[in-house]
Structure 1
């Protein structure tokens, strides 16, 4: 596909310096951890940081990992076009963290596994483990290529930043620090990058507030334009944004990411205690909400600035994901370095997502495809992990190149997370929540869930929902002073030199996810029951037990304190076969959790 930047809307030297500084700091973090951990030779140190990480950096890394550049560009554009209903994602974030911390985290942390797909072999069979691993690898590689390429194209067409220089430089830097520093480098670069992302949003918001004369005018404009009419309880699942689709549809998507996605789980099971792991999830919730609210308000700012001259309707930009970069060049183009900070924020989102994916891909390949079939020393496994990180980084850059050739297929490929993530969520839920589920039920449920999800996903692309269910809110171009010029004059009067046919990725729940999850569980339960799963004895470490839940911990600690004056640790161990499952004491000075030895 041939693309060209808009004439007259280009970076200054200071913008490139700011962007380069972000890349340099990210690379330097990788070098630092490669040097400080040079004496550590095990693959566990490289892939899990030696399981010595603490809650705060892990929480920020969790926030950054799936808040990609697509989020930075697409969420504000979504608010601009459809209103601020996506603010209800905050509820789905909260429910997702509760489910993850209470259901999935205790089991994974108790087992001290590196790859979560090892759980599938312990609980079901090796075939289930291999199928889950392969699905994750396909899902992640496809998504990563899109995450690198899509924002690069949008930014290239509006800022004039060279497309492939940006793609390759970010891909190379990301691969470099992943290969050099392992999980610690990934976590601490994520900490830096989430700060850059928030700074980029705040930069745009503050400038818009100054231009418009206050927050009140932006809110007033948004209310008059219908952008704050968020209370839509329409039960139609095909409708783009309602309370139900965003809140409950979003919960399924985010549980599939935080609960059973290797990239996220690998971080919190690398914490030094289960208390730190649970805290990391809830501190991460604060970060998620900060980015969500920033992106929503940025979308309201976008509408307030262009309420009388919609750049998209007027043909000034060719795709919705170019609206935010256009706004940045429009209101900040006269301040060298500031557009560069926003672009650095967008690419920080890409770096954090890609680095998490590379590290997770290396982990599952080592743990699921190499260690079970080869006898290799730990030192050699560490070297293999680094080589795999490098190879997966190169592959992800290659996938970005392939994404440039996809054209209209790109939009369909975004749904890969729902098509694969939903059934995988159902599979893990089946194992953890249902003690009588067996391997026959698990495989049957997973295959059934995949088939139904694929059928629904393909059907949604071939037969999209009626246009009235996803119609954007009203726009106007009455305030535009359109000219035939092909350059921007900073008052939204330009026309693009070339137009892109790539649309923004939808910032909405994928409806395939709950369908795939539900089908997998229902079929898995039925097949397990008819094949005698209820007769099978399952190790209690592999399923959820009541002492895993925070509510039980609190009431147990209160009961022990009232009756004996101290927590009954011995009884807790005895109740679970001396496996010492996670338990908590209500008092702060005793609040800690233990894992099995």
Structure 2
């Protein structure tokens, strides 16, 4: 029996109707804004919405922009396979929003540029801008290819559609969809599709909790079942759960998650440090995000949009982590992947949907719509807003992205592949922007040298890690079993007493027998450190080359670098200083009055008693 046989024909009319409704509403929003904005005066208005947007819709759009099918399908699968440590991303979100709001947003908002890569030309040179733009386009195409591939997996699982048929159809629909409206259309489509994503998550979570008998059994399963009892899926909140199962409610503080070994795939340190660099490169300099928040009508609205977006990011993260725990709780005794019921880990969530929601027409369609909507949104944005609204370029972009989807199918874990792409390319890009904004003496020679050096080094470690994967003890996959798998028939998801033979799992590929000396050290580095490596090397080489080539003599316009007046900390300091000065001034005035008039009451200030006439002058 195969997963395909289980999934074929599982969609009913109601599911297709819900899925089609999502497409129609999204397209309708785009068509409406395209029609309403057809007379916009300039390309800047088209790309930035006239800078009249407010914080709330922009914040929801920021949240939705990188919460795609990867979040809906890959995050729960990550928790199912490796544990809930990805919940530490919540801390990296917080740090990334603070850094973006304080250091990057003020400069980009002040310049009011339609592309972040214009900054590289203004600050350094046209060559730096061209290289940065080229890297961004490569990053975008790779990422979009993955985003096409992931929902195609979902369609393949729940409808039985051929995988490549799903990939091509997804690419064709997205290429057509990219011809819709301006930035306002993108923002409001994001708002709608974020709601679809949350609804899809909640439908799975609520039904899973009902099937398993409540929230506590799901948490209990995640705590009890792990790899030799040492790694728990609920490891982040293990201390709180331990109050019900153990007297040591703070044992999570000393858990393996706090191991400082940089070769460990996921730890508190790799996720918070490496994740911060990744998310700063996304929110701080990525055109998709910067273009959204600089479209706000004031810098206060722009900052507020980032912090409201933070709430949305954490909510989505919590949903995806708990969905992964529900996935494990349902299949803790029969892993569908090991049993051969699905062909890839990213099909686990669609498989669960058809298992527990198949009797509720429309809900499977809602979940697939949630996964699919992220792809439509991203491809619409990248192809139309970044490569200009010409049919030829949109078509070419669609074809290239479909080709990249094939490459994505060979990259293993989708979540890791995505973050690796953002790390390898985004890290050096973050470094060159950091040079420009924070270092007034950095020159164009230093910027180019640093960018190339950071890219070469991050490519070296990234490609090496792909060729020579780290050993399983570094990635620490969790134990899965098929001992409880019992089937009645090839077309049913019910269980009987006939056991399915246990198969060996190949979740983590083993490295080749002959590997270079660097395979167990440099190439085994956690993929989350790719971004810090690229950033640090770019900045270090850029500073050194700039100083050696006379950068200390460089005179840079103040508007191109971060000024103290740009930061909230400066304004807070100024506010409290004024308050202290005012209080000190009031104290000095009161003292002068007391010395002069003998009273602190201002009614008696500068009034002298005329004792010779026995009256008080008026």
TM-score (norm 1): 0.84
Residue 479 (structure 1) aligns with: 484
Q: Distance in 2 between matches of 1:502 and 1:82?
A: 10
Which of 466, 470, 480 is the matching residue for 1:465? Answer: 470
Specify which of 436, 446, 449 is matched with residue 451 of structure 2.
Answer: 446
Alignment partner of 2:233 out of 227, 247, 257: 227
Question: Who is 1:387 aligned against?
Answer: 390
Q: 1:288 Cα shift?
A: 0.5
Q: By how many angstroms is 1:168 displaced?
A: 5.2
More displaced stretch, 173-182 vs 58-67: 173-182
What is the CA deviation profile of residues 501-523 of structure 1, one whole-angstrom value per residue up to 9, with x for unaligned ones?
A: 9999xxx9632111111100000
The structure whose Rg is larger is 2
Match among 407, 410, 414 for residue 408 of structure 1? 410
Which residue in the other structure is 1:488 paired with? 492
**Per the alignment, do residues 154 and 38 of structure 1 end up closer, same or farther by CA in structure 2, a change over 3 Å counting?**
closer
Distance 1:50 1:68, change over 3 A: same
Kindly indicate whether the alpha-carbon contact (under 8 Å) linking 1:148 and 1:400 is maintained by their aligned counterparts in 2.
yes
Which structure 2 residues correspond to residues 49-128 of structure 1 after superposition, within 5 A?
49-128=49-128
Q: 1:122 to 1:494 in 2, by over 3 A?
A: farther
Q: How does 1:212-251 map to 2 (within 5 A)?
A: 212-225=212-225, 226-230=232-236, 231=255, 232-251=257-276
CA distance in 2, matches of 1:88, 1:502: 23
Gaps (5+ residues) in structure 2? 226-231, 237-254, 501-505, 510-525, 584-618
Compared CA separation, residues 491 and 54, structure 1 to 2 (3 A) = farther
8 Å contact 1:118–1:129 — kept in the other structure?
yes
Q: For residue 39 of structure 1, report the CA deviation from its aligned partner.
A: 2.3
1:273 aligns with 2:273: no
Secondary structure of the structure 2 residue equivalent to 1:180 = coil
Residue 83 to residue 502, structure 1, CA distance change in 2 (3 Å):
closer
Find the counterpart in structure 2 of residue 528 from structure 1: 546
Alpha-carbon contact 1:449-1:516 (below 8 Å) kept? yes
Instruction: Tell me if 1:356 matches 2:381.
Output: yes
Q: Does 1:538 align with 2:540?
A: no
- Rounded to whole Å, the distance in 1 between the matches of 2:545 and 2:148 is 41
The 8 Å contact of residues 139 and 422 in structure 2, kept in 1 or not, is answered as yes
2:520 maps to: none
| Structure 1 stretch displaced more, 523-532 or 21-30 | 523-532
Distance 1:406 1:34, change over 3 A: closer
* 1:548 equivalent in structure 2: 566
- Which of 510, 514, 531 is the aligned partner of 2:528? 510
Count of residues in Structure 1 that have an aligned counterpart in Structure 2: 531
The equivalences for 1:138-287 within 5 A come to 138-161=138-161, 163=163, 166-167=166-167, 170-225=170-225, 226-230=232-236, 231=255, 232-287=257-312
- Structure-2 separation of matches of 1:54 and 1:174: 28
Q: Residue 13 in 1 paired to residue 13 in 2? A: yes
Query: 1:178, 1:355 within 8 Å by CA — same for their partners in 2?
Result: yes
304, 310, 314: which one aligns with 2:335 = 310
Is the partner of 2:20 in helix, strand or coil?
Answer: helix
**Which residue of 301, 317, 330 corresponds with 2:326?**
301
State whether structure 2 residue 363 is matched by structure 1 residue 345: no
Write out per-residue CA displacement over residues 48-96 of structure 1, whole angstroms, 9 at most, x where no aligned residue: 1111111111111111111110111111111111111111000000000
Cα distance change on mapping 1:544 and 1:344 into 2, 3 Å = same
Distance in 2 between residues matched to 1:474 and 1:394, nearest whole Å: 44
Q: C-alpha root-mean-square deviation of aligned residues, in Å?
A: 2.5
**1:348-369, CA deviations, whole angstroms, 9 ceiling, x for partnerless residues?**
122222223224422xxxxxxx
Three-state SS of the structure 1 residue aligned to 2:390 is: helix
Which residue of structure 1 aligns with residue 429 of structure 2? Answer: 424
How far apart, in 1, do the equivalents of 2:167 and 2:582 lie? Answer: 62
TM-superposed CA distance for 1:530, in Å, is 1.2
Q: What residue number does 2:598 align with?
A: none
Q: Residues 27 and 176 of structure 1 are in contact (CA less than 8 Å); yes or no, is this contact kept in structure 2? A: no
SS in 2 for 1:404: helix
- 1:75 and 1:393 map into 2 onto residues whose CA distance is 30
Q: Could you give the per-residue CA deviations for residues 127-167 of structure 1, whole angstroms, max 9, x where no partner exists? A: 11111111111211121122112331243134324656654
The residue matched to 1:181 in structure 2 has which SS? coil
Q: Secondary structure at the match of 1:179?
A: coil
Q: Gapped runs of 5+ residues in structure 1?
A: 363-384, 496-500, 566-597
**Equivalent residues of 2:5, 2:490 under 8 A apart:** no
| Distance of 2:493 and 2:175 partners within structure 1 | 39
Cα 1:250/1:541, change in 2 over 3 Å: same
1:330 equivalent to 2:336? Answer no
- Equivalent position SS for 2:218: helix
2:609 maps to what in 1? none
Secondary structure, aligned partner of 2:179: helix
Within the candidate set 269, 287, 290, 2:315 is matched to 290
2:408 and 2:508 map into 1 onto residues whose CA distance is 12
Cα 1:553–1:386 shift into 2, 3 Å: same
Q: In 1, Cα distance between the equivalents of 2:455 and 2:491?
A: 48
Cα deviation, 1:293-338, whole Å, max 9, x if unaligned, reads 0000001111111111111222222211111000000000111111
* CA separation of 1:215 and 1:407: change in aligned 2, threshold 3 A: closer
* Partner of residue 136, structure 1: 136
Structure 1 pair 490/189, CA: closer, same or farther in 2 (3 Å)?
farther
In the alignment, is the contact (CA less than 8 A) between 1:18 and 1:337 conserved in 2?
A: yes
Counterparts of 1:518 and 1:130, CA distance in 2? 21
The answer as to whether partners of 1:6 and 1:159 remain within 8 angstroms in 2 is no
Contact kept in structure 2, 1:146 and 1:410, CA below 8 Å: no
If the length of structure 2 is used for normalisation, what is the TM-score?
0.81
